């Protein structure tokens, strides 16, 4: 084996081969003058047929034509056939950082970076996407089993060391663009998007589970499933929304309380307006005879669906049960996407209901 430096047009590359000695018309050949794709494991092919110079490294175990078709559009392409028993890697980059290196300096084993000046027509035909790193894993035709991972990230804490570690981290820096609160629109900024595609339905947008390599790494539980730092969230820590705005159908605020959309109300008492933490309704001077019910109260909220289960809880009552009655709450009607109606009834058999009742509701859809 020897090291040979060869200039291919504009590109200068150092190549390693057992019998590589010359370049004829842009193609590397062996000592017999034959094409090196029949004699060596890999080589370089230089072509300007695609309209601009390009360099390709092609594994000898695949026809050149099919490799170049696959690599079409690349300035530097590499094509490898992984056909040996056991683990194989098409291209591996290994970087080692000594423990004596100066602190505060970022290190990357492999960096993919792209700068784009393309202006896309969002949602239209003239749409382009710039990928810093694009990992694609594809099943072969007719294959019915296997495991695909588009991009795999792993941080390994050695048994003799310790560190803060994250298997995957995504950072989006909005240095001066529009602070867009909507999602899925032309100028939305989303740290991570999970997109489901294909003619058949996929299992889940996000799946968290312990796993491990059999006999090597034992699977263990995590302390938490999904962790959201409430101090990092302005409005909704977790929600199921509708639309790009979005309208919160179900959610929790940063303090862990339920978010709903309460617009207004009518009936026996005032309604807590705005998007409330839970729905809190206060009925003022609610009266009902012994064993009777008070005036119905309507709560207008888009959080209600046709299958909603509404749970009511009395938070406070200004009266005395023995002399002012015993209040109970029940739901009398719901209107999907519009409102629900509740009634305060008096369960006391002799004392009339009189006093202020504060009620909190939880909507489960």
Higher pLDDT, 231 or 67: 231
The better pLDDT of the pair 54, 317 is held by: 317
The reported pLDDT for the residue numbered 125 is 66
Which is more confidently placed, 45 or 93? 93
Q: What mean pLDDT, rounded, does the chain reach?
A: 76
The mean pLDDT value for 290-318 works out to: 82
- Classify domain 259-364 by CATH number: 2.60.40
Contact 343, 327 (CB under 8 A): no
Supply 293's token pair.
């019910």
- Name the percent of the chain in helix, strand, coil, to the closest 5: 5, 30, 65
pLDDT at 39 over 80: no
* CB-CB neighbours of 68 under 10 Å: 19
Residue 334 host element (H or E): strand 327-335
How does DSSP classify residue 277? B
- For residue 265, the tally of other CB atoms under 10 A from its CB is 20
CA of 159: how far to CAs of 162, 168, 169, 314, in Å?
8, 20, 22, 54
Q: What is the pLDDT of residues 136-192, one digit of tens each?
A: 999 989 999 988 999 999 898 988 999 999 999 999 999 999 998 888 888 999 999
In degrees, to the nearest 5, what angle opens at C-alpha 327 toward C-alphas 326 and 333?
150
Whole-angstrom Cα Rg for the chain: 33
* Residues in contact with 182: Cβ distance below 8 Å, sequence separation at least 6, in sequence order: 188, 244, 245, 246
Nearest alpha-carbon partner for 63 in 79, 75, 85, 49: 79
% of the chain with per-residue pLDDT over 90: 21
User: Average of pLDDT values for 90-117?
Assistant: 85
Distance CA 156, CA 165 (A): 8
52-71: average pLDDT: 76
Where exactly does CATH 2.60.40 map onto the chain?
259-364
Task: Decide which of 77 and 31 is more confident.
Answer: 77
Confidence of residue 123 (pLDDT cuts 50, 70, 90): low
What's the pLDDT score for residue 16? 35
Stretch among 62-76, 81-95, 102-116, 255-269 having the lowest mean pLDDT: 255-269
For 341, other C-beta atoms within 10 Å of its C-beta total 16
pLDDT value at residue 172: 94
Contacts of 222 by beta carbon, 8 Å cutoff, 6+ apart: 208, 210
More confident residue, 347 or 5: 347
Residue pair 282/268 in contact by the 8 Å Cβ criterion: no
**Coil, strand, or helix at residue 65?**
helix
Could you read off the pLDDT of 224-270 as tens digits, one per residue?
Answer: 999 999 899 988 888 888 888 877 777 777 877 666 555 555 443 33
Instruction: List the beta bridge partners of residue 344.
Output: 329
Q: Convert the pLDDT of each residue in 270-280 to its tens digit.
A: 344 333 445 65
pTM for this predicted structure: 0.62
């Amino acid at each position: 084996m020897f090291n040979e430096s060869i200039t291919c047009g504009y590109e200068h590359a150092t190549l390693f081969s057992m019998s590589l000695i010359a370049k004829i018309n842009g193609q590397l050949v062996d000592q017999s003058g034959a094409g090196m794709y029949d004699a060596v494991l890999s080589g370089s092919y230089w072509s300007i047929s695609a309209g601009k110079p390009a360099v390709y490294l092609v594994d000898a175990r695949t026809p050149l034509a099919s490799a170049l078709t696959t690599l079409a559009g690349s300035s530097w392409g590499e094509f490898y056939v992984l056909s040996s028993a056991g683990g194989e890697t098409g291209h591996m980059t290994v970087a080692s950082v000594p423990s004596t290196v100066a602190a505060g300096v970022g290190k990357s084993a492999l960096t993919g970076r792209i700068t784009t000046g393309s202006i896309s027509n969002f949602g239209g035909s003239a749409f382009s996407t710039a990928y810093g790193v694009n990992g694609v894993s594809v099943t072969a035709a007719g294959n019915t089993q296997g495991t695909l991972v588009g991009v795999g990230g792993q941080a390994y804490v050695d048994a003799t060391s310790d560190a803060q570690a994250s298997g995957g981290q995504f950072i989006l820096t909005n240095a001066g663009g529009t602070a867009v609160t909507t999602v899925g629109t032309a100028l939305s900024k989303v740290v991570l998007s999970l997109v489901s595609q294909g003619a058949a339905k996929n299992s889940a947008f996000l799946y968290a589970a312990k796993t491990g390599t059999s006999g090597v790494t034992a699977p263990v539980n995590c302390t938490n499933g999904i962790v959201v730092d409430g101090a990092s969230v302005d409005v909704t820590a977790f929600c199921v929304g509708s639309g790009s705005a979005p309208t919160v159908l179900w959610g929790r605020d940063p303090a862990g309380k339920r978010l709903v959309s309460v617009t207004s109300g009518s009936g026996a008492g005032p309604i807590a307006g705005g998007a409330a933490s839970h729905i809190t309704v206060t009925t003022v001077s609610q009266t009902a005879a012994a064993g009777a019910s008070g005036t119905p109260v309507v709560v207008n909220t888009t959080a209600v669906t046709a299958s909603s289960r509404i749970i009511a809880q009395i938070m406070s009552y200004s009266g005395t049960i023995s002399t002012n009655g015993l209040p109970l709450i029940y739901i009398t009607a719901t209107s999907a996407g519009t409102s629900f109606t509740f009634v305060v009834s008096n369960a006391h058999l002799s004392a009339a209901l009189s006093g202020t009742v504060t009620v909190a509701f939880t909507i489960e859809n």
